[in-house]
């Protein structure tokens, strides 16, 4: 009797969840008109000879709904952090008061909201592609194991991988829908 061959569904599931986690990170960096500390997370500053995230150079706070403050620990870094924020493409003009950098979050206009929904859709499409790549890897594992596997087992594992893929794509679509509704909310 042929030995039982199993496809590593846990690995496939973990990789698809990684794509979802990456999508959540990208969504959290999208500005929806409300201040969030995650707004400055992707910004890197050239500090002490290497690229460093802002949250490792100062304390990031959200004192009010339309304001993010960054209390820089090293006074020499204030100018570099301010420059990095200006060049980040956030569209926010930082205001400096000593070692505190204030980022006032302006109200979003309709055109900018629509643009952000398109960006969110692009992020979701990247996540879908990542999930489909994981699905392809799973199907390749099934093809490689074909000699020691019955047709019923091949069908079973193909259906399992497809079900996992469908579930991940549905989660991505649901997250996109929620994010677009949040962006369009005035």
The C-alpha torsion from 94 through 21 and 184 to 67, rounded to 10°, is -20
Residue 2: pLDDT band (50, 70, 90) is: very low
Residue 125: pLDDT band (50, 70, 90) is: very high
- pLDDT exceeds cutoff 70 at 173: yes
**Mind giving me the DSSP string for 88-156?**
TTS----EEETTEEEEE-PPPPHHHHHHHHHHHHHHHHHHHHHHHHHHHHHHHHHHHTGGGS-HHHHHH
User: Burial of 103 by CB count in 10 Å (0-12 exposed, 13-18 middle, 19+ buried)?
Assistant: buried
Residues 58, 53: Cα–Cα separation, whole Å = 9
Within a 10 A sphere around the Cβ of 108, how many other Cβ atoms? 20
Read off the pLDDT of residues 91-110 as tens digits, 9 standing for 90 and up.
788 899 988 999 888 777 88
Residue 21 shares a structural domain with residue 53: no
Q: What is the CATH number of the domain that holds 58?
A: 3.30.1360.40
Asked, for residue 126, whether it belongs to a domain, the answer is yes
**Number of domain units in the chain:** 2
Asked, for residue 141, whether it belongs to a domain, the answer is yes
Contact 97, 12 (CB under 8 A): no
Residue 113 shares a structural domain with residue 177: yes
For residues 61-87, give the mean pLDDT. 89
Last residue of a domain, one of 104, 127, 149: 104
Asked, for residue 174, whether it belongs to a domain, the answer is yes
Return the structure tokens found at 174: 């649901």
Residues 143, 44: Cα–Cα separation, whole Å = 43
Asked, for residue 3, whether it belongs to a domain, the answer is no
């Amino acid at each position: 009797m042929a030995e039982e061959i199993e496809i590593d569904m846990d690995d496939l599931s973990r990789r698809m969840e990684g794509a979802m986690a990456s999508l959540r990170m990208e969504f959290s960096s999208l500005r929806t008109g409300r201040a969030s500390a995650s707004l400055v997370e992707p910004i890197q500053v050239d500090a002490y000879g290497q690229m460093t995230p802002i949250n490792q150079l100062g304390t990031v706070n959200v004192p009010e709904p339309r304001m993010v403050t960054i209390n820089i620990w090293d006074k020499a870094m204030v100018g570099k952090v301010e420059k990095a924020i200006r060049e980040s493409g956030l569209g926010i003009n930082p205001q400096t008061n000593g070692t505190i950098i204030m980022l006032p979050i302006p109200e979003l206009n309709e055109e900018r909201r629509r643009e952000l929904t398109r960006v969110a859709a692009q992020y979701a499409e990247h996540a879908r592609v990542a999930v489909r790549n994981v699905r392809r890897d799973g199907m390749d594992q099934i093809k490689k194991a074909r000699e020691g596997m019955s047709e019923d087992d091949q069908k079973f594992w193909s259906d399992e991988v497809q079900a996992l893929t469908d579930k991940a794509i549905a989660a991505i679509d649901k997250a996109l829908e929620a994010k677009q509704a949040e962006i369009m909310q005035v």
